[in-house]
Chains A and B, each alone.
Chain A
Amino acid sequence: MLKALSSLRDGVGFDILLVGAALVFLMALAGAPLIYNVLMSFQQVDMFTLGSLIRPFAGFDNYVAVVQQPEFWLVTRNTLIFVFGSMAGQFVLGFALALFFAQKFPGSATIRGLFLVSWVMPGLVVGAIWSWILAGDFGVLNVILRALGIIDANIFWKSDPAFSIWAVIIANIWLGLAFNMLLLSVGLAAIPRDLYEAAELDGANAFQRFWTITLPMMRSTIGAVLSLGLIGTLQQFDLFPALTEGGPANTSNVAGYWSWQLSFQLYDFAKGATVSVMMFLLVLFASVVYVRSTRHEVRG
C-alpha cells in the first residue's frame, strides 16, 4: 500500500498518472466526438433523434447513399484539386518568401511581420474581401489582368464552373501564406551559418547550397508545414460561404463544405457525418504516409 502510494508520488505510478490524465483529456475532447460521429454515420438520424444516442442502425446505407448522390464524384475531384492546389501554392510561395526575407536587407524583419496581418484575419472577412477582388464585372483582379494584357475578357472567377474552385484556392493560398512563411523562416534560421560559409569556400553556387544544405536541413520543418497545411486546408470552411457557396452547380463544393451543407442546411445529419468520416480516413491515410516518411529521419 505504502509502496503503491510512493510510486504515485515518484515512480512508474506517477508516469502512468500523467499519461492517463493526458489520455482522458484527449478521449473526452477529441475521441468522444469522433466516435459519436462515426456512430452517427451508421445510424438513421433526423432532428427528432439528434439528442439521443440510441437510434435505428442503418448499416452502410448512409455510405451507399452518399456515393450515389449525383454530386459525389464532382465533390471528390474538387476536394483533391482544392487540397493540392492550396497546399502547393501556400508552400511554394511561402518558401519563396521565407528565402527572400532570409536575405537580411534593411526592414526585412518588419515587412515579414506585416505578413501576419493575413493570418490573424477571420476567414469570413478574407472571403468577403476576395469576393470583391474576384467579382466578374468590377473586380480588381480582372482590371489588373486586363491592364497587363493577360486576358481580353473578364473572367467570372466565382460564377464560371471552370474557375470557381480556383477562386477559393486563390483566397486560401493568400490566407495560409503567412503561416507557411513563418514556420519555414524559423526552420531557415535554425540552419547553422557556417555550413553555408564552408560550402561557399568549396565553391558551391546558390542553387547547390539550397539543394544540398537548405532542403535536407529543412526536412522535418517541411514535413510539419505540409501536414499542417493538409489539415488546415481540409478544415477550411469560411471561404466557401463567403465566396461561392459551393456553386455554381457544386463545381466549387468540397467535402468539408458539403458535409456542413448536408448536416446544417439540409438537416441530414447522418449523411453529413458520413462525409466527415470519409474525410477523416483521408487525413488518416495522409498522416500515416507522413509518419512513415519521417520515421528514419536523423534529428538534431
Chain B
Amino acid sequence: MQIFKLGLFAGLAAGALVAAGPAYAQVTLKVWSIDGNDRPGIADTYSKEFDEANDDIVVEYRAVPFDELVNETLRAFATGNAPDIVSFDNPDFALFSSRGAMLDITERVANSEVLSQADYFEGPMNSVTWDGKIFGLPKYTDTIGIFYNKDLFAKAGLSEPPKTWDEVVEYAEKLTDPAAGVYGATFSARAGEEGTFQFLPIIQMSGGGYDKVNTEGAAHVLDLWKQMIDNGWASKDVLSLGQWDSTGTFNSGNAAMAISGPWEVDRMVEDAQFDWGVALLPTVTEGGERSSALGGFDWGIMSTTQHPDEAFRLLEFFASQDNRIFPEFGNLPARGDIELPETGIEKKDAALKVFQEQLQFAQPRGPHPEWQKISKAIYDAMQQALTGQMSSMDALNQAQATIDGIVN
C-alpha cells in the first residue's frame, strides 16, 4: 500500500517535472512486478540501479501483489495505462503474448549484443514464445523440493529424507511433538495458484497432467495429506497459508519438513537455528516417476509502450545482471551459460545442487490460455478433499469434468 502511494506520488511528481521542463528530454519507464512486497527483490533493486545510473531515463517501479498482478495489468492495458515493462508468473505470460499485449522483440533479441536466445533453458524460453516469435525474456526459474530439519530428524532416529509420500506421512507422525509445538510437516494447500503449484507435480508423478487429474496416485496422496492434517501432524492452516508463511514455521523450528523452493534459502540461512537440508520432491511410489513444479517469472515489454528502444535497453540491463540473482536473491537463473558461484555457505550450496537436479524433472503448468480456470478446478478439488467435503477421488473426478469442459 505504502509503495503504491509512493509510486503514485512519484508518478505525479515526474508528470509535473515533464510538464514544467519540456527541454529536459527524459523518458519515463514504468516497471511492474511482485518484487519488493515482502523483501527486496530483483525488479525493485535493478530498477533503482538503472534509474540512478542513467540520466536520460527515469524508471518508476511499482510492486504489485502476486494475486493482483495479472488483473491489475489487464485493467491498465484496457484503459491505456499499461506499464512499459512487466514481469509475469510464467503460466500467465501466454495469456498476454497470444493476444497482442506484449511487444514482439524477436528482431531486437537477434540483434542484441548483450543477450542471446541460445543462452536460455528451453522450458522457460517456451513460456515467452508464441507463434514462433519472442515476446519476452525469462527472469528466473524455480521449482520445489522438501526441506527437512536434520536436528529433529536425528532426535526422532531418522537419518534420511523421505523418498515417497507414504514415508513423508510415516516420518511426520514420528516428528510431531505437540508439547513442543512441532508439526511433522508443512506445505501450502491454499485456495490459489500456490496450491496448484504444490499439488500439480503429484498429479504429474502419478501419470496424469493438467488435462488428466483424476489419477489413483493423486487421490492416494490427497488421502495422505488429509491424514496428516486430521491427525495434527500438519497444521490445519496449511489450507490458508502461502508457501512463504508456511516455510516460516519450518524456519522457526515449528515444523520438521516443509515443501517449498529455492526462494526460501536465503531467509532460511539467516533464520533457521538448526541443521537443515533439502531433498528431491518425494515420489508416489518407491522409485516412481519424478516431477516437480516449474515456476519462475518472465519479463516482457507491453505493446502499448511509447519507448520500445529504451524499454529494451532496460530489459538488456536486467538480463546482464542475471549472474547476481542466485547469490543475492536466491533465485535460479533461467540460463545455461551462467556458472553459479559457490557462495561459501555450505547449506546454501548444497541446496542449490538439489534444486538444479530437481529442475530436470520440473514440468510446466499448462501452457493453456485458460490456465486460471484449470488451476482453480485443481485447487478446489484439493481443498474439497482435504476438508472432507468429498472423497479424494470424487473431488478429482469433479475437477476432471470441469477441466474437460475447458480443454475440449
User: What is the interface of chain B mostly: helix, strand, loop, or mixed?
Assistant: helix
* With A159-B240, A241-B67 as contacts: A248 and B74 at CB distance below 8 Å: no
Any A CB within 8 A of the CB of B335: no
Decide: A266 and B240 in contact? CB cutoff 8 A. Answer: no
Which of A45-53, A54-62, A184-192, A213-221 touches B? A45-53
Decide: A245 and B372 in contact? CB cutoff 8 A. Answer: no
Any B CB within 8 A of the CB of A115: no
The residues of A that contact B71 with a CB separation of less than 8 Å are 264-265
**Distance between B389 CB and nearest chain A CB, rounded to angstroms:** 6
The residues of A that contact B384 with a CB separation of less than 8 Å are 249
Any A CB within 8 A of the CB of B34: no
* With A136-B237, A137-B181 as contacts: A249 and B380 at CB distance below 8 Å: yes
The residues of B that contact A72 with a CB separation of less than 8 Å are none
Decide: B389 and A161 in contact? CB cutoff 8 A. Answer: yes
Give A48 to B96 CA distance when docked, in angstroms: 11
* With A158-B240, A246-B191, A265-B372 as contacts: A125 and B383 at CB distance below 8 Å: no
Give A262 to B99 CA distance when docked, in angstroms: 20
* With A48-B99, A122-B1, A245-B191 as contacts: A137 and B383 at CB distance below 8 Å: no
The residues of A that contact B372 with a CB separation of less than 8 Å are 265-267
Q: Closest B-chain residue to A131, C-beta based? A: B240
**Distance between B89 CB and nearest chain A CB, rounded to angstroms:** 13
Give A274 to B169 CA distance when docked, in angstroms: 44
Q: Closest A-chain residue to B389, C-beta based? A: A249
The interface bits of chain B over 304-324 (1 if a CB of A lies within 8 angstroms of the residue's CB, else 0) are 000000000000000000000
The residues of B that contact A135 with a CB separation of less than 8 Å are 237
Decide: B373 and A247 in contact? CB cutoff 8 A. Answer: no
Decide: A137 and B254 in contact? CB cutoff 8 A. Answer: yes
* With A245-B192, A248-B383, A249-B380 as contacts: A136 and B236 at CB distance below 8 Å: yes
**Distance between B5 CB and nearest chain A CB, rounded to angstroms:** 11
* With A161-B389, A267-B372 as contacts: A248 and B237 at CB distance below 8 Å: no
The residues of B that contact A241 with a CB separation of less than 8 Å are 67
Decide: B237 and A249 in contact? CB cutoff 8 A. Answer: no
The residues of A that contact B240 with a CB separation of less than 8 Å are 158-159, 243-245, 247-248
> Which among A47, A70, A158, A245 is the interface contact of B398 at CB below 8 angstroms?
A70
Decide: A159 and B191 in contact? CB cutoff 8 A. Answer: no
**A260-275 CB contacts (< 8 Å) to partner B:** 261, 264-268
The residues of A that contact B95 with a CB separation of less than 8 Å are 47, 267
Decide: A247 and B235 in contact? CB cutoff 8 A. Answer: no
Decide: B190 and A245 in contact? CB cutoff 8 A. Answer: yes
The residues of A that contact B235 with a CB separation of less than 8 Å are 136-137, 156, 159
The residues of B that contact A244 with a CB separation of less than 8 Å are 191, 240
Give A268 to B370 CA distance when docked, in angstroms: 10
Q: Which A residues have a C-beta under 8 Å from some C-beta of B?
A: 47-48, 50-51, 70-71, 122, 124-125, 135-137, 156, 158-161, 241, 243-251, 261, 264-268
Extra contacts, 12 of them, besides A136-B236, A161-B389 (Cβ < 8 A), are A47-B74, A48-B99, A125-B1, A137-B237, A156-B237, A156-B239, A158-B239, A159-B240, A245-B67, A247-B191, A247-B383, A249-B389
